[in-house]
């Protein structure tokens, strides 16, 4: 096992985050704070409690999920796309390092970054609204699984994309709508019946629901279904990643 190689990629990626600290950390925190101001204080004060939880507190898990999902995808996709774009990927591809090790290096760094962002947002949210965490171990599990899954998904996008435009298009057209419509800001039963049915096809719903359950023990679907859904999504991403390295898709001729 080339541990030095994994470490080199990981440190290199974390270094990039340090160089771009504003983009990496400050901007998600600022935008999340804006959500709290708008939804939590301004609008939220006019919304009644949902299942006994004030609206401001209700949206905290969803906001953390929303930011972590989009940031995981961004970090991981950019991390692998950028060396492909500059051509420096040649070094990684010619190094004595296995495919799994390459993925651990890049995805590990993206997971770390999005976990940091998630925890920073959690503590920022604590400044605005009261928060209680009923099941810390479940919260950590959901945080980990979500950031690993979406980082892997981002890694795949970063390999698939040939241009900066393509790099943005999936997060913009797929991830963001799914995340917004996945119950981050509302409970599913607040929707009309037709939309409720449609929402159950949105995988993000299950993640947000399970994550929220770990905070307030309220959920749209059972926590086990949530867990099963994220496991399925994770398996799909792992399979696709394995296929990419096996075939050399967009990496080797």
Partner 1 sequence: MSPLIEIENLSKIYDNGHVALDRVSLDIKEGELIALLGPNGAGKTTLISIICGLVRPSSGHVTVAGHDIIEDYLHTRKLIGLVPQELPIEPFESVIKSVSFSRGLFGKPADPDYIEKLLADLSLSDKKLSQIKSLSGGMKRRLLIAKALSHEPRILFLDEPTAGVDVNLRMEMWDLIHQLKESGVTVILTTHYIEEAEEMADRVAVINNGTIIVVERKADLMRKMGKKQMYLELQSPIATIPEQLRPYDLRIQDNGQVLLYNYETRKERTGITSLLKDLSTVGIGFKDLRTEQSSLEDIFIDLVEERIDVLERAERSMALDLSES
> What distance in Å separates the CA atoms of residue 222 and residue 206, rounded to the nearest whole number?
9
Distance CA 236, CA 229 (A): 11
Contact between 19 and partner 1 (CB under 8 A)? yes
| Listed ranges 79-87, 150-158, 160-168, 212-220: which one lies at the site for partner 1 (CB under 8 A) | 79-87
5 binds partner 1 (CB under 8 A): yes
Please tell me whether residue 180 binds partner 1 under the rule CB under 8 A.
no
Phi, psi of 130, rounded to the nearest 5 degrees: -75, 135
Does residue 90 belong to the site contacting partner 1 (CB under 8 A)? yes
Q: In terms of C-beta distances under 8 Å and separation of at least 24 residues, what long-range contacts does 228-232 make, across chains too?
A: 229/203, 230/142, 230/145, 230/146, 230/149, 230/203, 230/206, 231/145
- Which of the ranges 82-90, 154-162, 172-180, 230-238 carries the binding residues for partner 1, by CB under 8 A? 82-90
By CB under 8 A, residue 160 contacts partner 1: no
Query: At its nearest, how many Å lie between partner 1 and the CB of residue 96?
Result: 4
Number of residues counted as binding partner 1 (CB under 8 A):
29
Angle subtended by helix axes 203-216 and 136-160, to nearest 10: 150
* Secondary structure class of 53 (helix, strand, coil): strand
**99 belongs to the binding site for partner 1 (CB under 8 A):** no
The residue ranges that bind partner 1 (CB under 8 A) are: 2, 4-5, 7-9, 11-12, 15-16, 19, 82-83, 86-98, 248, 252-253
């Amino acid at each position: 096992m080339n541990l030095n190689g994994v470490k080199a990629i990981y440190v290199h990626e974390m270094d990039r985050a340090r160089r771009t600290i504003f983009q990496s950390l400050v901007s998600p925190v600022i935008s999340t704070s804006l959500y709290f101001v708008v939804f939590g204080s301004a609008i939220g004060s006019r919304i009644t409690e949902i299942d006994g939880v004030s609206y401001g507190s209700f949206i905290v898990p969803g906001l953390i999920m929303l930011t972590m999902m989009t940031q995981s995808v961004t970090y991981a996709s950019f991390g692998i796309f950028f060396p492909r774009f500059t051509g420096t990927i040649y070094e990684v591809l010619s190094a004595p390092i296995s495919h799994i090790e390459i993925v651990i290096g890049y995805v590990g760094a993206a997971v770390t970054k999005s976990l940091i962002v998630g925890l920073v947002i959690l503590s920022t949210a604590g400044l605005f609204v009261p928060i209680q965490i009923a099941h810390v171990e479940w919260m950590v599990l959901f945080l980990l699984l979500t950031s690993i899954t979406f980082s892997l998904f981002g890694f795949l996008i970063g390999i698939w994309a040939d241009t900066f435009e393509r790099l943005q298009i999936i997060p913009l057209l797929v991830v963001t709508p799914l995340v917004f419509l996945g119950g981050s800001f509302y409970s599913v039963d607040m929707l009309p019946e037709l939309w409720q049915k449609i929402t159950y096809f949105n995988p993000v719903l299950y993640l947000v629901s399970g994550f929220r359950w770990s905070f307030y023990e309220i959920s749209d679907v059972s926590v086990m279904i949530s867990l099963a859904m994220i496991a399925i999504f994770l398996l799909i991403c792992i399979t696709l990643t394995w296929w990419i390295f096996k075939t050399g898709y967009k990496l080797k001729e």
